[in-house]
């Protein structure tokens, strides 16, 4: 572990982390940073790359390479860029096991030709959360170090230079969060293979409702989402879901809003799911292939 009493050690750490960061010019007015994920892949924030082709990557050695978006997931704000640049150094990520609020952290970005850094502590280390766009982030991670515009797609690292997460300014109003490796790995695996994060399609329109107290006591749940539309020839229609049904759970996990339904369908493609619904005051299970 590097000592914060040795400024040369911290400067060396920033230089080392900077070898895994590139400048990204993808159309956004502030530009952005990209983190080398594999020898030919760069991960960045989705809002940084407003176009899919003609992306310029400013490399650590001062040269410029071209990149193309191979996939993006607006719900988690992650985009993956492929490049033919040579000699890229992938970042080293770590799990958040053992990380505590108060541990030191360094935020590093490359919004221009040179690497930039800020120093602070881990301010927030929370559980999973849902983004405003309906995406699921496995852990909520913030530091009190500055993350200015143009640093999205950079890294928050520990004092060994291992990445705690990908810096992102576009997911919360309060400022920047860091997306942990467990989230990046899940999303990027889908983007590399399919160009998007696949989600099962049920084919319903829904809105949140609160069940009458007598019904809630009977079924053991107080809220759910009422079906107000069923798409023709959809899995919902085939499974027998009717207008007015209230979905309260999917595969045993409570569903209290539309975003929760969408989140739980993530990754469930060509599989059967069990929907717990309330119909005429009674709880029943319906199987649907999504």
Cα 206 to Cα 204: distance, rounded to the nearest angstrom: 6
Identical fold, 1-197 and 204-289? no
For domain 1-197, give the CATH number.
2.40.10.120
* Coil, strand or helix at 214: helix
Does the structure show a pLDDT above 60 at 108?
Answer: yes
Tell me the per-residue pLDDT of 114-155, one tens digit each, with 9 for 90 and over. 999 999 999 999 888 888 777 888 998 999 998 999 999 999
Which ranges in 151-249 belong to alpha helices (H)? 181-194, 213-219, 235-239
For domain 204-289, give the CATH number.
2.30.42.10
Residue whose structure tokens are 């005051």: 281
Contact predicate 33/90, CB 8 Å: no
pTM of the model: 0.80
Does the structure show a pLDDT above 70 at 96?
Answer: yes
What phi and psi, each to the nearest 5 degrees, are found at residue 53? -130, 170
* Domain boundary assignment for the chain: 1-197, 204-289
Cα 61 to Cα 40: distance, rounded to the nearest angstrom: 16
Stated length of the chain: 290
Mean pLDDT in residue range 244-258: 91
């Amino acid at each position: 572990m590097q000592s914060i009493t040795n400024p040369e050690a911290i400067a060396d750490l920033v230089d080392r982390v900077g070898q895994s960061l590139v400048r990204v010019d993808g159309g956004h007015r502030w530009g952005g940073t990209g983190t080398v994920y594999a020898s030919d892949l760069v991960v960045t924030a989705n809002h940084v790359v407003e176009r899919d082709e003609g992306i310029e990557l400013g490399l650590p050695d001062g040269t410029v390479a071209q990149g193309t978006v191979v996939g993006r997931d607006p719900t988690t704000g992650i985009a993956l860029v492929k490049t033919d640049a040579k000699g890229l150094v992938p970042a080293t990520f770590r799990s958040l096991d053992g990380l505590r609020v108060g541990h030191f952290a360094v935020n590093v970005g490359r919004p221009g030709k040179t690497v930039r850094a800020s120093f602070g502590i881990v301010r927030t280390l929370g559980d999973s959360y849902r983004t405003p766009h309906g995406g699921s982030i496995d852990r909520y991670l913030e530091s009190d170090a500055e993350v200015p515009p143009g640093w999205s797609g950079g890294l928050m690292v520990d004092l060994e230079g291992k990445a705690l997460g990908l810096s992102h300014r576009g997911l919360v109003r309060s400022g920047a969060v860091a997306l942990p490796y467990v989230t990046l790995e899940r999303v990027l695996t889908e983007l590399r293979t399919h160009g998007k994060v696949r989600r099962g399609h049920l084919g319903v329109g829904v809105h949140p409702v609160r069940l009458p107290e007598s019904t809630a006591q009977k079924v053991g749940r107080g809220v759910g989402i009422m079906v107000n539309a069923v798409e023709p020839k959809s899995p919902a229609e085939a499974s027998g879901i009717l207008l007015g049904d209230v979905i309260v759970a999917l595969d045993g996990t409570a569903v209290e809003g539309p975003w929760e339904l969408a989140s739980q369908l993530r990754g469930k493609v060509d599989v059967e799911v069990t929907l717990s619904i309330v119909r005429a005051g009674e709880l029943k299970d319906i199987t649907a292939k999504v």
